[in-house]
A = this chain, B = another copy of it.
Amino acid sequence: MAIKMYDLCGAEAERRFSPFCWRTRMALAHKGLDVETVPWRFTEKDKLPQPNAGRVPVIIDGDRVVHESIAIADYLEERYADRPSLFGGETGRALTRFVQNWTDTVVLNNLIRLVLVDIHGHLDPADQEYFRQDREKRFGATLEDVVKDREARLPAFRASLDPLRRTIDRQDFVGGRAPSYADYIVFGAFQWARAISNFELLAADDPVRAWRRRMLDLYDGLACRTPAYGD
């Protein structure tokens, strides 16, 4: 039986844009597992398995319900230990946490300030109302003001990617010759951006862009199947 996965979507059910859901989606493909995704919107907290924190991803695998991308990755690695490893062992799992903490504190924190208003533009009306209220309170500014000087901030964002850039300029993937869960963590951020914003984050000749292309090509172009902008 396919694993069921609740996956954040926009006004269009097929537009999947959560960076955390993309981590899980790619991890399921890495493990070669069948998945049935359930499109889910911010305001549909009642539709998730109970109890829930109103967040996705959530997966249901037989009688197991697992919440949050980190817990899901750990669950899949243990439950499907005979399939390709997401971490490459305990040290790999520990180092993956470092990549995750870098992605969360550096990439996502800066990226949100470049594309926040574009998320709003892709939500259905009920979610738009929730999203504007929630995020404007969090940022202490209108969605439009949060992104308004984004062109000026783009060079600093690109420079902040140096650790990633140097890594994937010298090896195909963060995980080495083959992608690992660390790749899916970082890729989720870029996939999020391209699914909801036409603001191009990466210069045409940036090695990070070539790596993103390699990620988009994985698993028969899985990540290309959602509506998105650019390559």
Contacts and interface: CB of A to CB of B under 8 A. Distances in A.
A94 B166 contact: no
Number of copies: 2
Nearest to A159: B105
Nearest to A176: B94
Q: At the interface, is chain A mostly helix, strand, loop or mixed?
A: helix
Interface string A124-163: 0000000000000000000000000000000000000011
A176 B98 contact: no
A196 interface: no
Interface stretch (A10-18, A47-55, A58-66, A81-89): A81-89
Q: Which of A95, A102, A164, A182 has the most CB of B within 10 A?
A: A95
A93 interface: yes
A170 to B, nearest CB: 7
B88 A175 contact: no
Contacts of A174: 94-95, 98
A49 B213 CA distance: 44
A162 B92 contact: no
16 contacts: A88-B89, A88-B91, A89-B89, A90-B177, A94-B177, A95-B180, A95-B182, A97-B167, A97-B170, A98-B99, A98-B164, A98-B174, A98-B182, A101-B164, A101-B166, A102-B102
